[in-house]
Structure 1
């Protein structure tokens, strides 16, 4: 039976993709409670009780304008939330406070009874590990470019010697600033001459470059598959959105089934996949973003992704 309680949306203040979903939820008359975990202690309060009622947990999460009973939440849309950094505190106090929020507020949100998560934050965190993604993709029969994850200089040199062109990818995107300037790590070509012993400090991901003619961004929502071909001359299409052209395509059934199986493996309700089409028309796995952006694709292609996500959220727990 579909629950009639609110959909909780956890995200940062400026999130246009979340705005699309909330607008559609409002249009359908579905109650919504939106907050950002970073607002704890200011515009956000949580109270959860255990061992005092028939349910495993009860309580409330409250914002200045909304209250949600924890036992009635039908879905949690974990979009782009941020956590407080407590930078006004001394370093040890800030670490302690941060841990209490992540394990207190986070722990409550991770334990909502009979709730559909899109996606569960702990499942997101697991699925973000690229080496694990690569292993799962190959197990599912997807074509994975030759890849090495290493901090061993000789292993990196040997890998580059075996492949004509190699690219470097960050193992995980992290906020990075130099002064007031925000920086981004792109997928970049790398040559053996650029390597030195400094790579021993952390593992690096090196991958044989796919001789691609186009990229694919595939958004899977439940069992619904939305595939968009992205044409450009860019190695990393994120560098220049103005240089991209888009076309909606149908994936081969076998590939669509494998991508759905990938989400099932990680126990995710949705995910955004990046793939590449080579000159022979073969499709290569690149990565899974379990909480990828999709709002701009709806603008460019008129795919009704918003409705797909709202359909999933309003179904409640499966």
Structure 2
């Protein structure tokens, strides 16, 4: 009987969530190859063959501690990888080199034969677009708050006037630094009086605020659904983790099925959903993070999330 191949984990150096899963896989005796695309050309090497071997893709991925046969990788856990920036090169050369890595290494990793992806990077990318998320969620019968994506100041002002209590959200989180300090953007309340010409530069997402009493983070791993109610009294609970209290809850069966079907629609096997619960106990869609954080939830609730991810990765492609 042929020995099962390794689980590949693509992530940055400091990733405690990946560490939890790798520790569990090691405990089970499952071989793991951990790497970060940003190390390509230094501590990471690749040699891939197409059209000359029985397998569609053959060759190897080489790290300082392991060599993995591409055709034998049973699962790829696409966690928090970073890509090389080639900062030592001239700007044009750096752009060229970065593109070669993304399309060379990336293209190979996207084409691994017989591999289970958690999740496939290209499917993650498709599912990350919030306007698409909103349309798909409504299609699955989920309650979607009234939302406007626009750079038309008159339309935005009319939307805010019509819905009165409105919040602004970024369409995509992006690393941002000012004066060497890392910044982030929270979900914030917005009024019509605050609008100025800057709203016309790019599209913005405005959404009618749910009269919520709590948030819910739902982590789906394969067919397992883990739901945690987060009470805080905050508009955006990420602003202050010390203010949060957690409780494990059961979702209505119809909602569970809709969330699993939602992931299947995008070809995903896992994802982290954010929902809001209103005063009537109804659940409202906020967003999906196909590769969301969940490690702290296990610490707070003792839910077996690490085991669920390890099961999925150890099993490989069905």
Mapped partners of 1:179, 1:267: distance in 2: 40
Please give the TM-score of this superposition, normalised by the length of structure 1.
Answer: 0.99
Give the whole-Å Cα distance in 2 for the aligned partners of 1:275 and 1:4: 38
Shift of 1:122: 0.3
Structure 1 runs (4+) greater than 4 angstroms displaced = none
- How many Å separate the matches in 2 of 1:246 and 1:124? 27
Q: Which whole-Å CA distance do the structure 2 matches of 1:196 and 1:24 have between them?
A: 52
Shift of 1:197: 2.0
Mapped pair 1:131 → 2:131: yes
Asked if 2 retains the 8 angstrom alpha-carbon contact of 1:3 and 1:74, the reply is no
User: Aligned with 2:71: secondary structure?
Assistant: coil
Instruction: Give unpaired runs (5+ residues) of structure 1.
Output: none
Map of 1:186-201 to 2, 5 A cutoff? Answer: 186-201=186-201
**What is the RMSD computed on CA atoms of the aligned residues?**
1.1
**How much does 1:290 deviate?**
0.2
The answer for the alignment partner of 2:92 in structure 1 is: 92
Quote how far apart the aligned CAs of 1:107 are: 0.4
Alpha-carbon displacement from aligned partner over 1:90-142 (angstroms, at most 9, x marks no partner) = 11001000000000000000000010000000000000000000000000000
Aligned mates of 1:132, 1:277 — CA distance in 2: 22
Superposition pairs for residues 285-304 of structure 1, below 5 Å? 285-304=285-304
Unpaired runs of 5+ residues, structure 2, are none
For 2:55, the equivalent position in structure 1 comes to 55
Rounded Cα–Cα distance in structure 1 between residues aligned with 2:70 and 2:97: 23
Local SS of the residue matching 1:309: helix
Query: Equivalents in 1 of 2:35, 2:57: separation in Å?
Result: 20
The equivalent residue for 1:106 is 106
Does the 8 Å contact 1:48/1:108 carry over to 2? yes
Correspondence 1:217 to 2:217: yes
Distance 2:232 2:26 in 1: 37
- Report the equivalent of 2:273: 273
Whole-Å separation in 2 of the counterparts to 1:17 and 1:56: 32
